[in-house]
Every structure is written in C-alpha cells, then in structure tokens.
Amino acid sequence: MSDLKSAILDAKYVDMIDLGDFVVRDTGLPDVDSDGNLMPQATEIAAAIFRWAADMKAAEAARTKSPAPTPVARPAAVPASQGGQHREDPMAEALDAELNRLAQEQG
C-alpha cells in the first residue's frame, strides 16, 4: 500500500487527471452538464486521490513517531455544493492550486 501512496504522491499532474478521467468514464459519471459544459469530476477525483495518499502517508509517519496515536478531532466539512471544501493538508492545497493553474493554461 505504501508503494501505491508514494506513486500517487510522485505522479505527474497529467497522469492524475488521466486517472480521474478514466474513473469518470469507467463509472459512467456525467462529464458534461445539461448545457453541454464540461464538469470538473476528473480534477476533483484526482485531487481526492492525492489528498487520500497524503493523509495516509502523514498518518503512517505519525504512527511511527508516536506509539500511541491520539485521535484528532476534525471539523465538519462544508459540502462542495455549499461552496466549501475541507482542506487539512498543505500538499492537497498545493495540488489543487497546480490543477487549477494547469487547467487554465490548457483552456
């Protein structure tokens, strides 16, 4: 599992978006809205996978440093439909910023 997490964290932006796009197509999620505009599912899935890997890697590092992990209270996430996304990891924020920058460059 740690190899998977490391591969995800080391993956290129384009590879992560390709993975997200594959998941969207494979699961039959809609990729366009009712007006024909592209929806951001691939980017959101790629960012979620990256956040998962970063959170898991951080949790493993914390476990090796501290034999008795203490539970961390997490604030309730605001649903994306209400304009919020829960961010705990600076690496996830950096990936999202990079995803947005590259998406704007690509048009």
Q: Which of the 8 DSSP states describes residue 31?
A: S
Residues 6 or more apart from 52 whose CB is under 8 A from it? Answer: 8
Confidence of residue 81 (pLDDT cuts 50, 70, 90): low
Residue 105 domain flag: no
Number of domains within the chain: 1
The answer to whether the beta carbons of residues 46 and 88 sit under 8 Å apart is no
Mean residue pLDDT of the chain comes to: 75
Most confident of 36-50, 52-66, 87-101: 36-50
Residue 106 domain flag: no
Residue 97 domain flag: no
In this predicted structure, the answer to whether residue 72 has a pLDDT above a threshold of 80 is: no
Residue 79 domain flag: no
pLDDT tens-place string over residues 15-56: 888 888 888 888 888 878 889 887 888 888 888 888 888 887
The answer to whether the beta carbons of residues 70 and 46 sit under 8 Å apart is no
DSSP letters, 77-101, are PPPGGGT------HHHHHHHHHHHH
Residues 6 or more apart from 50 whose CB is under 8 A from it? Answer: 8, 9, 16, 91, 92, 95
Residue 44 domain flag: yes
Q: Which domain holds residue 51?
A: 1-64
- On the 0-12 / 13-18 / 19+ scale of CB atoms within 10 A, 56 is middle
